[in-house]
Amino acid sequence: MPYVEYDEVGASCAECGRLFRSAEDLDAHRRESHVAARTAAPAKSRVPTLACSICTRKFYSVAALQDHTRKDHST
Ligand SMILES: [Zn+2]
Ligand SMILES: [Zn+2]
């Protein structure tokens, strides 16, 4: 039987689309990659309060603002 790599992929992250072999792997990924943004501010009260000083975009977190600045305003 030929080995098919993606046969074993069992779960995909709903937030970033990454694929994982098991629910446990997905769980660990979500804890590491997505939980910080959630615990920082509950979804209902999330309002973008950080404004970029270069353009008019607003962001939920300092990390997101810094990421934006790096990506969109890098020289
Ligand atoms: Zn993800
Ligand atoms: Zn900007």
Q: How far, in Å, is the centroid of ligand 1 from the Cα of 20?
A: 10
55 φ/ψ sector (left φ>0, alpha ψ -120 to 50, else beta): beta
Domain 1-33 sits in CATH 3.30.70:
no
Asked if residues 10 and 22 have their Cβ atoms less than 8 Å apart, the reply is yes
* C-alpha 41 to ligand 2 mean position (Å): 22
The closest ligand to the CA of 51 turns out to be 2
Is 0.85 topped by the overall pTM? no
pLDDT digits (tens, 9 = 90+) for 19-47: 998 889 999 998 888 876 555 555 555 67
- pLDDT over 70, % of the chain: 73
Give the separation between CA 34 and CA 28, rounded to whole angstroms.
10
User: What residues are paired with 68 via a beta bridge?
Assistant: none
Residue ranges of domains in the chain: 1-33, 43-75
Centre of ligand 2 to C-alpha 62, Å, is 13
Q: How confident is the model at residue 58 (pLDDT cuts 50, 70, 90)?
A: very high
- pLDDT > 90: what percent of the chain? 39
